[in-house]
């Protein structure tokens, strides 16, 4: 967590600055976003875009993480006989007999 100085200055944590390529002397942009303030690093503001291969690599990594999460989940699977209703009953519920 960063503190605001008496001159309303904020220090960006080193890890965050490194991750987003913010260096000493860079100009960053502050944007109002409802109840939040969005900080835009210089490269994001200039419209730098990821290459198609980089986007695909990031997508594949995210997909692998999700698949790993799903494998570790233990979802309870019910057979239809354990319920007291059937799918067809859902469509006729509330209709006069």
Looking at the domain assignment, is residue 88 inside a domain?
Answer: no
pLDDT tens-place string over residues 36-95: 999 888 764 445 577 889 889 999 999 999 999 988 887 776 666 666 777 777 787 677
Looking at the domain assignment, is residue 25 inside a domain?
Answer: yes
Looking at the domain assignment, is residue 85 inside a domain?
Answer: no
Looking at the domain assignment, is residue 35 inside a domain?
Answer: yes
Looking at the domain assignment, is residue 89 inside a domain?
Answer: no
Looking at the domain assignment, is residue 83 inside a domain?
Answer: no
Q: Report the domain count for the chain.
A: 1
Residue range of the domain that includes 36: 14-72
Looking at the domain assignment, is residue 4 inside a domain?
Answer: no
Looking at the domain assignment, is residue 3 inside a domain?
Answer: no
Can you give the three-state secondary structure of the chain, one letter per residue?
CCCECCCCCECCCHHHHHHHCCCCCCCCEEEEECCEEEEECHHHHCCCCCCHHHHHHHHHHHHHHHHHHHHHCCCCCCCHHHCCCCHHHHHHCCCCC
| Phi and psi, residue 2, nearest 5° | -105, 150
pLDDT tens-place string over residues 45-57: 445 577 889 889 9
38 vs 24: CA distance, rounded Å: 19
């Amino acid at each position: 967590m960063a503190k605001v100085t008496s001159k309303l200055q904020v220090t960006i944590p080193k890890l965050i600055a490194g991750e987003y390529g913010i260096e000493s002397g860079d100009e960053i942009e502050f944007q109002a976003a409802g109840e939040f303030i969005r900080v835009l690093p210089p490269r994001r503001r200039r419209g730098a875009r990821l290459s198609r291969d980089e986007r695909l690599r990031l997508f594949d990594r995210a997909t692998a993480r999700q698949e790993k999460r799903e494998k570790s989940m233990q979802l309870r699977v019910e057979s239809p006989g354990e319920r007291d209703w059937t799918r067809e009953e859902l469509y006729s519920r509330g209709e006069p007999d």
